[in-house]
Amino acid sequence: MSQAPQPQAGGATSAPAVFTQALPSYLDPQHLGPWGIYLQQVDRVTPYLGKLARWVDTLKRPKRTLIVDVPIHLDNGSVAHFEGYRVQHNTSRGPGKGGVRFHQDVTLSEVMALSAWMSIKNAAVNVPYGGAKGGIRVDPRQLTQGELERVTRRYTSEIGIIIGPTKDIPAPDVNTNEQVMAWMMDTYSMNEGATATGVVTGKPVDLGGSLGRREATGRGVFTVGVEAARRIGLEVAGARVAVQGFGNVGGVAGKLFAEAGAKVVAVQDHGGTIYREAGLDVPALLAHVARQGSVAGFPGAEVIANDAFWSVPCDILIPAALEAQITEANAARIQARMVIEGANGPTTPQADDILRERNVLVLPDVIANAGGVTVSYFEWVQDFSSFFWSEDEINARLVKIMKEAFAAVWQVADENKVSLRTATFIVACKRILHARDLRGLYP
């Protein structure tokens, strides 16, 4: 590593550069990819942080990064190795918290960015957590159930040195679910010699999971969507909604919008894109996806080209799949008045700017999809107290937190004439860096 001074991106009040080592390439703000995008987002808020900006470099480096080898026996008798990660971005406000994803394209840069977005998200809704994320570079669709269990267990064992109910609490994310959480909880508990339900959230309800957790992210997406629609004078009843990704997030959000009288006109997932101007039958589509694994072949809908999804006439667009879906290539074609980011990082910064110029309101991931981790927090509290709440109580508390957090972000955006994303970062970074400031440095 060279000893050149660190570039001072936007941090006029940061510590003198000469005392800090040059950044390794994967931390370099010029490095394209999710982590580079996150760093640009931090730079945008730095001018709004006042005296706390002296701590901003804390946000530009993950606190702890673990890369693990995950070897397993395949069913055919051979041994396969997968690379796994767990990144704890920040723990100033509490233990690390964030999901684990299984995907063939997972990279360290991606997991670092996702862990940082968890820090922002958790601070934005004011749950007492830092931010963390994990992942394994594996295509789970290529694995048998037994292989999937072995990958999960070995990975959990490898990251067991840094996770725990008071240290860092994983949860489901892309391609992980309640069953994966049950295996993680069991593996950690076996190694500890005691059942520790609070080590992961998003568990089955019969194993210390919370009622309402599975629907929580989609319910949060719907809640902030309704709040924002009211503020821009968009009537939800009759509004046309397009959804990308029809799983736990997009499927639930689509269902709630349909129940509120909106028309879900287009849905895209890995199987293709379907469209129906008069609105799709959402309960029937959910049942079809549960049976068939994708929207492909849903009767009564028109099949359109995947790229045409971005230009369908609609009022609300919900990207609820993966990162970097709304880009320079399609942002100018989006017809919606409002984009609600159910996924993490679905809009590139260039696309963000195009949408803002075109007056399309973007409800950013770091507030819009925070419903999942909010109910994860409820689950963790319930596990610690071994006392479980009713679903109505959970949903009511979730809606209250989401509405209050959204109102605070809206006000900051209004006062500073900034996007909701920058406003959410302002609220969250101030909370994180205030905690950092109060704690001070050890030693």
> Which residues of this chain interact with ligand GLU, rule CB under 6 A?
97-99, 171, 173, 201, 344, 369, 372-373, 376
Considering beta carbons, is residue 114 or 266 the nearer one to ligand GLU?
114
Considering beta carbons, is residue 97 or 263 the nearer one to ligand GLU?
97
N-term to C-term CA, the chain:
25
Nearest to 105 by CA among 3, 34, 199, 178: 34
How many other C-beta atoms are found inside a 10 Å radius of the C-beta of residue 24?
10
Considering beta carbons, is residue 14 or 217 the nearer one to ligand GLU?
217
Whole-angstrom distance, CA of residue 325 vs CA of residue 346: 5
Q: How far is the CB of 255 from ligand GLU (least distance, A)?
A: 19
Cβ distance 355 to 326 under 8 Å? yes
Q: How far is the CB of 171 from ligand GLU (least distance, A)?
A: 3
Whole-angstrom distance, CA of residue 422 vs CA of residue 412: 9
Whole-angstrom distance, CA of residue 374 vs CA of residue 72: 34
Considering beta carbons, is residue 52 or 136 the nearer one to ligand GLU?
136
Q: How far is the CB of 323 from ligand GLU (least distance, A)?
A: 11
How many other C-beta atoms are found inside a 10 Å radius of the C-beta of residue 50?
10
Q: How far is the CB of 372 from ligand GLU (least distance, A)?
A: 4
Whole-angstrom distance, CA of residue 143 vs CA of residue 132: 26
Q: How far is the CB of 438 from ligand GLU (least distance, A)?
A: 24
Cβ distance 239 to 260 under 8 Å? no
Q: How far is the CB of 35 from ligand GLU (least distance, A)?
A: 16
Whole-angstrom distance, CA of residue 94 vs CA of residue 257: 34
Coil, strand or helix at 6: coil
Nearest to 165 by CA among 432, 407, 315, 384: 384
b (16+ CB within 10 A) / e for 145-181: eebbbbbbbbbbbbbbebbbbeebbbbbbbbbebebb
Edge-to-edge strand ranges of the sheet holding 131-137: 64-73, 79-90, 131-137, 100-103
Considering beta carbons, is residue 118 or 361 the nearer one to ligand GLU?
118
Considering beta carbons, is residue 184 or 239 the nearer one to ligand GLU?
184
Considering beta carbons, is residue 49 or 373 the nearer one to ligand GLU?
373
Whole-angstrom distance, CA of residue 381 vs CA of residue 398: 14
Q: How far is the CB of 98 from ligand GLU (least distance, A)?
A: 5
**Closest residue by beta carbon to ligand GLU:** 99
Q: Of 97, 121, 133, 203, which is the active-site residue?
A: 133
Going by C-beta distance under 8 Å and a sequence separation of 6 or more, which residues neighbour residue 370?
121, 122, 124, 125, 220, 402, 405
Q: Is 60 a catalytic residue?
A: no
Q: Which residues are catalytic?
A: 133
